[in-house]
A and B are shown apart, each in its own frame.
Chain A
Amino acid sequence: MGTWIAALRSERIKLGRSQIMLLAVIDPVLCAVIGLLANVGKGEGAWAGLMLAMMVLHAMLFLPIMTGIFSAYVCRYEHAGGGWKQILSLPVSRSALYFSKLLVVMGTLALNQLLFLIAVLGVGALKGFDLALIPWADFGIKILGGFVACLPLAALQLFVSTMWSSFAAPLVLNVVFTIPNILIANSATYGPYYPWAQPMLVMMQAGGQYDFGAFGLPAETLLITVGGSFVLFLTAGLTYFNRKPV
């Protein structure tokens, strides 16, 4: 446990003045622009409508892509300057190091989600929506669910990012598999198992008859697939990293 915390604190320094925090801001800012431009009525479902309008691109595109970027980022500086062999010659277990990297990715994702929520609330306030009508429970579930649904993808992307010394390769892989999201989400059979579509499926359940394809699946089913694939990718990544010749 001690070495794990130490590894995490060491990771904090490496992030230091780097631009990863800036990246976590880009997505909410873009979504805010979309929200401002969107034509949402001021009626009863104003907040939910705004959230939906801003979330389409966020959940379908930005969030999976950001997950890939964060994962690649925490490995980049290790690949670039021979950091792996230095840090693995230190008294820190490989698993502790791997978990600390994953935790950094998770932390940045959480920050990203939080900033997104703030963007939604900010845009709503700007548009003069009634603050008393904010559906906190619904928003909370969507933000938290979206975060959880990103974790399998984060584990998968961290796995390939430790494996490939190139920064671009995992990103290309990520983008290539993110683009078909909208098609795959339509399939109730394959959608839930597709890590890139999971954030979208979890966040964009509208409820009722509006759901189609994999969106119509019950949340429990989705969370089980999410949990299962997270465990699978994490185990694969850890097993690989523990054997990785440096």
Chain B
Amino acid sequence: MTDMMIETRNLTKKYKGTPAVDALNLAIPRGEIYGFLGPNGAGKTTTIRMLLGLIKPDSGVVQIFGQDLKRERIKILRRVGSLVEYPSYYGHLNAVENLETIRRILNVPKSRIDEVLQTVGLTKDAKRSVKGYSLGMKQRLGIASALLGSPELLILDEPTNGLDPSGILEIRELIKKMPQQQGITVLVSSHLLSEVEQMASSVGIVNQGKMVFQDSIPNLQRKAGSEIHIALSDPDAAMITAREQGCFPRLDQGHLVFKGIDNGQIARLVAALVDARHSIYRVEERRKSLEDLFLTMTSGAANASSERHEAGAPRAAGLRKEAAQ
């Protein structure tokens, strides 16, 4: 309880009667990189704006550092760095001046400006007017602004949006280093599972304003589950052999597919198959991809799993394409 950096209870925000965030319970322990995952429009940004007090929740409680946001907003925000949606900047100023506007409010030493510019690799362009920056550079300036006050909690909303692959990699490495080097807890939102998987230690998946999964990344991977595929010469006959061993596989494109089977069972099964003179070509473990799991979880409570294939298919294809980028 006391070690929760962010905790929300029944956080709800409605727009014209439709809930954008619906009774959301977030729990982010200290030192984590928390991946806040969900498709576009799932309520991630709305949640983050409520965490920062930019909008007021219709109901529910936000506690940051164990303090009530409503009452201690200013005190809390002093210890939080944030980047919401697209980066904010004053185009007519250069990077140093942009940071200076924030520095004066945070009241940190001037040297912090050079430090954060160094951290995000903008030192070279610091004296250029931000108007002429690329989106990636603006994004990095946004992260620099978020880091300026040496926050204990960093809230980054889609920080790698609009970055090129090398930029994404840089930002990802930067974020991954934070908990170890500076003890910062990070909340990072994304619509890309692969990205969250690569940097987060725990994950919360939201869909239509509701939390559908919240746990550590390894647990998410476990939940994805795995199957053993065996390719062999005569699958039909092998099915019978397998049943005699007490395993009930399904047949999939000439493979025997076993679910929830342990090492001992596999060993006995393979021995029995060899005894029965089957030629075994491969025995392999296949993980259900996290993408599929993510899609299953986010395809909406309304869609039954059977419907998903028709209704969810085009969207799924689109998301997969996005995820592949």
Contacts and interface: CB of A to CB of B under 8 A. Distances in A.
A91 B77 contact: yes
Given A246-B54, A246-B55, A6 B107 contact: yes
A82 interface: yes
A222 interface: no
Interface stretch (A8-16, A26-34, A154-162, A166-174): A8-16
B78 interface: yes
Contact of A10 (B53, B77, B85, B102): B102
Given A14-B90, A77-B90, A85-B85, 5 more contacts: A10-B101, A82-B87, A85-B52, A90-B105, A93-B74
Contacts of A18: 92
B119 to A, nearest CB: 18
A87 B85 contact: no
Contacts of A16: 92-93, 97
B101 A91 contact: no
A6 B103 CA distance: 9
A245 interface: yes
A3 interface: yes
Interface residues of A, number: 27
B185 interface: no
B49 A6 contact: no
A13 B93 contact: yes
A91 B88 contact: no
B145 A86 contact: yes
B49 A246 contact: yes
Interface of A: 3, 6-7, 9-10, 13-14, 16-18, 77, 80-83, 85-93, 243, 245-246
A86 B138 CA distance: 13
B102 A86 contact: yes
B315 interface: no
Contact of B101 (A13, A88, A89): A13
Contacts of B52: 85, 88-89
Contact of A245 (B56, B78, B80, B89): B56
A93 B75 CA distance: 10
A86 B87 CA distance: 8
A16 B80 CA distance: 27
Contacts of B54: 85, 88-89, 245-246
Contacts of B130: 81
B88 A83 contact: yes
Given A81-B89, A81-B90, A246-B49, A87 B84 contact: no
A246 B46 CA distance: 10
Interface residues of B, number: 32
Given A10-B104, A92-B74, A245 B55 contact: yes
Contacts of B22: none
Nearest to A6: B105
B174 interface: no
Contacts of A243: 56
B90 A91 contact: no
Interface string B60-78: 0000000000000011011
B56 A90 contact: no
Contacts of A88: 52-54
A16 B85 CA distance: 26
A211 to B, nearest CB: 45
Contacts of B53: 88-89
Nearest to B74: A91
B84 A10 contact: no
Given A10-B105, A245-B56, A85 B88 contact: yes
Q: Which of B86, B88, B97, B107 has the most CB of A within 10 A?
A: B88
17 contacts: A6-B107, A13-B104, A16-B93, A16-B97, A77-B90, A80-B91, A81-B90, A81-B91, A82-B84, A82-B87, A85-B85, A87-B101, A88-B54, A91-B78, A93-B74, A245-B49, A246-B54
Q: Which of B85, B86, B89 has the most CB of A within 10 A?
A: B89
A91 B75 contact: yes
Given A13-B97, A13-B100, A85-B54, A90 B106 contact: yes
A69 B78 CA distance: 33
B82 interface: yes
Nearest to B129: A17
Contacts of A80: 90-91
A27 to B, nearest CB: 22
Contacts of B102: 10, 86-87, 90
